[in-house]
Chains A and B, each alone.
Chain A
Amino acid sequence: MGLLDFVKKIEPDKKKSPFLHTLFDGFFTFLYSPDTVTKGGVHIRDGMDLKRTMVVVVLAMQLCYVFGSFNIGHQHFAATGQYTAFLDGFHLKLIYGLIQLIPIFIVAHVVGLGIEFWYAAKKGHAIEEGFLVSGALIPLIMPPDIPLLWLAFAVAFGVIIGKEAFGGTGMNILNVALLARVFIFFAYPTTISGDEVWVAGLAESGDTLATTYNWFHTGLFNGIFESLGWDTFQAGMPVVDGYSGATPLALAFKEGWGAVTEQYSTTQMFWGAIPGSIGETCKPFILIGAGILIATGIASWRIMLSMLIGAVACAWLFNMWGVTPFMEVPWLYQFYMGSFFFAMAFMATDPVTAASTTTGKWIYGFLIGFVGMIIRVINPAYPEGWMLAILFMNVFAPLIDHYVIESNMGRRAKRNKITGVAVPVTPVAEAVAEH
Chain B
Amino acid sequence: MIKGTTKSTFLLLAFLTLSLSASAQSSSGSTNYLLYGLIGVIGLLLLVAILMVAENLLHIEAKQMGVDKSGTNYSIFPNGEEIFKGKSGSLPSGASVTALKRGHDIKLAGEAEKVINADIAGTTFALQPQNFIGISPIPKVTVEKGDEVKAGDPLFFDKKNPSIIYCAPVSGEVMEVRRGEKRSIKEIIILADKEMKHRTYDLPDLATCKREDLVEFLLASGAWPMIRQRPFDMVADFNIIPQNIFISTFDTAPLAPDNSFIVEGQGAAFQKGLDVLNKLAGNKVHLGLSAEGASSVFAGAQGVEINYFSGPHPAGNVGVQMHHTSPIDLKDPAWVLGVQEVLTIGKLFAEGKFDASRVVALTGDELDAPKYVRTYQGANVGELVKGNLKGDNTRLVAGDVLSGKQTSADSFLNFFDDQITALEEGNEFEMFGWLLPLSPRPSVSKTYPNFLFPDLKFKANTNTHGEKRAFVVTGQYEKVMPMDILPQHLMKAILVNDFERMEGLGIYELSEEDVALCEFVCTSKQPLQQILREGLETMREQA
Binding site for B on A (CB under 8 A): 1, 3-4, 29-53, 55-56, 126, 128-130, 167-171, 295-298, 300, 309, 312-313, 316, 319, 330-332, 351-352, 354, 356-358, 361, 401, 404-405, 408-409, 411-413, 415-416, 419-429, 431-433, 435
Partner of A409, one of B17, B242, B395, B505: B505
Contacts of A130 in B (CB 8 A): 472
From B355-363, B411-419, B513-521, the one touching the partner chain is B513-521
A416, B444: Cα distance in complex, Å: 33
Given A33-B465, A356-B475, A433-B219; A41-B530 close (CB under 8 Å): yes
Residues of A within 8 A of B404 (CB): 43
Residues of A within 8 A of B527 (CB): 40-41
Taking the complex as formed, is B114 at the interface, i.e. its CB lies under 8 A from any CB of chain A? Answer: no
Residue B83 at the chain A interface, CB threshold 8 Å: no
How far apart sit A37 and B406, CA to CA, in the bound complex (Å)? 12
Question: Contacts A33-B430, A41-B529 given: A419-B465 contact, CB under 8 Å?
Answer: no
In the docked arrangement, what's the CA distance between A217 and B454, Å? Answer: 54
Q: List 10 A-B contacts (CB under 8 A).
A: A32-B430, A40-B527, A43-B462, A44-B461, A47-B445, A49-B525, A128-B470, A357-B489, A412-B506, A423-B240
Q: Tell me, in angstroms, the Cα distance from A130 to B470 when the chains sit together.
A: 11
Q: How far is the CA of A296 from the CA of B165 in the complex (A)?
A: 53
Give the distance to chain A from B156, nearest Cβ to Cβ, in Å: 9
Determine whether the beta carbon of B327 is less than 8 Å from that of A35. no
Q: How far is the CB of B158 from chain A (nearest CB, A)?
A: 11
Does the CB pair B473–A405 fall under 8 Å? no
Option from A4, A36, A170, A309 in Cβ contact (under 8 Å) with B464: A36
Contact of B429 among A35, A295, A405 (CB under 8 A): A35
Stretch in B85-93, B288-296, B431-439 with 4+ CB within 8 Å of A: B431-439
For B470, give its contact among A53, A171, A297, A354 (CB under 8 Å). Answer: A171
Q: Which residue of chain B has the shortest Cβ distance to A32 in the bound complex?
A: B429
B332 to A49, Cβ gap below 8 A? Answer: no
Whether A428 contacts B212 by the Cβ 8 Å rule is yes
Q: Which residue of B lies closest to A297 (CB)?
A: B446
B157 interfacial by beta-carbon distance below 8 Å: yes
From A32, A358, A426, contact of B478 by CB (8 A): A358
- The answer to whether B430 touches A316 (Cβ under 8 A) is no
The answer, among B212, B427, B442, B445, for a CB contact under 8 Å with A37, is B427
Is the beta-carbon distance between A354 and B474 smaller than 8 angstroms? Answer: yes
Choice from B219, B433, B462 contacting A44 with Cβ under 8 Å: B462
Also in contact, A37 and B426, with CB within 8 A (given A50-B466, A432-B216): yes
Closest A residue, CB atoms, query B63: A418
Determine if B200 is an interface residue (Cβ-Cβ < 8 Å): no
Q: Which of these, A47, A298, A422, contacts B443 with CB under 8 Å?
A: A47
Q: CB of B8 within 8 A of chain A?
A: no
* Bound CA–CA A252/B329 (angstroms): 59
Would B465 and A313 count as touching, CB distance under 8 A? no
Which residue of the partner chain, among A48, A312, A401, A408, contacts B465 with CB atoms under 8 Å? A48
Name the contact of B489 in the complex, choosing from A167, A354, A405 (C-beta under 8 A).
A405
Query: Across the interface, which residues of A come within 8 angstroms of B406, CB to CB?
Result: 39-40, 43
Q: Give B216-260 as 1s and 0s: 1 = Cβ < 8 Å from A's Cβ atoms.
A: 100110000000000000000011111100000000001000000
Judged by a CB distance under 8 angstroms, whether B538 is at the interface is: no
Residue pair B441, A352 in contact (C-beta under 8 Å):
no
B184 touches A (CB below 8 Å): no
Cβ distance B280 to chain A, nearest Cβ, rounded Å: 11
Alpha-carbon separation in the docked complex, A186 to B465 (Å): 42
Contact in complex: B434, A297 (CB < 8 Å): no
- Complex contact A419–B326 (CB within 8 A): yes
B469 in contact (CB, < 8 A) = yes
Report chain B residues within 8 Å CB of A38: 462-464
Given contacts A41-B529, A316-B17, A428-B216, contact A50 B447 (CB under 8 A): no
List the B side residues contacting A412 at CB < 8 Å: 327, 484, 504-506
| Min CB gap A108→B, angstroms | 21
The answer to whether A126 touches B467 (Cβ under 8 A) is: yes
Separation of A422 and B28 alpha carbons in the complex (Å): 65
Complex CA distance for A36 and B430, rounded to whole angstroms: 11
Distance from B366 Cβ to chain A, minimum over Cβ atoms (Å) = 12
Assembled-state Cα–Cα distance A390/B447 (Å): 27
Chain A's closest residue to B165 (CB) is A433
Please, which residues of chain B bring their CB within 8 A of the CB of A297? Answer: 445-446
- A55 adjacent to B445 (CB under 8 Å): no
B333 interface residue per 8 A CB criterion: yes
Contact check, A170 vs B327: say whether CB atoms are below 8 A apart: no
Q: How many whole Å from B506's CB to the nearest CB in chain A?
A: 6
Contact B212 A421 (CB under 8 A): no
- Tell me how far the C-beta of B327 lies from the nearest C-beta in chain A, rounded to whole angstroms: 6
Complex CA distance for A45 and B516, rounded to whole angstroms: 10
Q: Are A44 and B423 in contact (CB under 8 A)?
A: yes
Contact A48 B332 (CB under 8 A): no
- Do B219 and A409 touch across chains, with their CB atoms under 8 A apart? no
Of B282, B401, B445, which contacts A48 at CB under 8 A? Answer: B445
Q: Tell me whether B489 and A29 are in contact (CB under 8 A).
A: no
Binds A, one of B18-26, B42-50, B144-152, B346-354: B18-26
Which residue of the partner chain, among A46, A129, A416, contacts B522 with CB atoms under 8 Å?
A46
Q: Which of A55, A296, A423 sits near B331, CB closer than 8 Å? A: A423
Q: A296-B445, A425-B239 are in contact. Are A33 and B463 (CB under 8 A)?
A: yes
Nearest-neighbor residue (CB-CB) of B428 within chain A = A35
**A35 vs B428: C-alpha distance in the bound complex, in angstroms?**
4
B402 within 8 A of A: yes
Quick one: which of B426, B437, B446 contacts A295, CB cutoff 8 A? B446
CB-defined contacts of B442 to chain A, threshold 8 Å? 44, 46-47
**Which residue of A has the minimal Cβ distance to B18?**
A312
Answer whether A45 and B520 are a contact pair too, CB < 8 Å, given A37-B462, A356-B474, A415-B327.
Answer: yes
Contact of B434 among A43, A52, A423 (CB under 8 A): A52
Contact for B241 among A128, A351, A361, A426, CB less than 8 A: A426
Measured CA separation A130–B403 after assembly (Å): 30
The residue of chain B having its C-beta at the shortest distance from the C-beta of A33 within the complex is B433
Distance (whole angstroms) from the CB of A423 to the closest CB of chain B = 5
A168 CA / B326 CA spacing, docked (Å): 42
Looking across the interface, which residue of chain B has its beta carbon closest to that of A305?
Answer: B14
Since A316-B21, A361-B475 are in contact, a sample of 10 more A-B pairs with Cβ atoms closer than 8 Å, ordered by chain A residue number, is A40-B529, A43-B421, A44-B401, A49-B525, A52-B466, A312-B17, A357-B474, A405-B505, A425-B239, A426-B239
A432, B219: Cβ atoms under 8 Å? yes
- For residue B342, CB closer than 8 A to chain A, the reply is no
Tell me the complex Cα distance, A29–B442, Å: 21
How many whole Å from B159's CB to the nearest CB in chain A?
11
Question: Quick one: closest B residue to A292, CB to CB?
Answer: B447
Q: Once the chains bind, are A429 and B332 in contact (CB under 8 Å)?
A: no
Q: How far apart sit A422 and B242, CA to CA, in the bound complex (Å)?
A: 9
Contact across chains for A48 and B17 when beta carbons are under 8 A apart:
no
A411 / chain B contacts, CB cutoff of 8 Å: 484
B488 beta carbon closer than 8 Å to chain A: yes
Across the interface, B463 reaches (CB within 8 A) one of A35, A316, A332, A421, namely A35
B486 on interface, CB distance cutoff 8 Å:
yes
Chain A residues in 8 Å Cβ range of B238: 428
- A102 to B: closest C-beta gap in Å: 23
B315 at the interface (CB under 8 A from A): no
Smallest beta-carbon distance B332→chain A, Å: 4
A408–B484 CB distance below 8 A: yes
Complex alpha-carbon distance, A433 and B28, angstroms: 90
Chain B positions 460-515 with a Cβ under 8 Å from a chain A Cβ: 460-467, 469-475, 478, 484-486, 488-489, 501, 504-506
- Chain A neighbourhood of B338, CB < 8 A: none
Q: How far is the CA of A397 from the CA of B533 in the complex (A)?
A: 29
Shortest CB distance B371–A (Å):
20
Say yes or no: is B79 at the interface (Cβ < 8 Å to chain A). Answer: no
Q: How far is the CA of A356 from the CA of B490 in the complex (A)?
A: 12
Residue in A44, A49, A167, A419 whose beta carbon sits within 8 Å of that of B460 in the complex:
A44
Q: Is there contact, CB below 8 Å, between B21 and A46?
A: no
B320 at the interface (CB under 8 A from A): no
Complex-state Cα separation, A29 to B106, whole angstroms: 27
A1 CB, min distance to chain B CBs, angstroms: 8
User: Could you tell me if B529 and A53 are in contact, using CB atoms closer than 8 angstroms?
Assistant: no
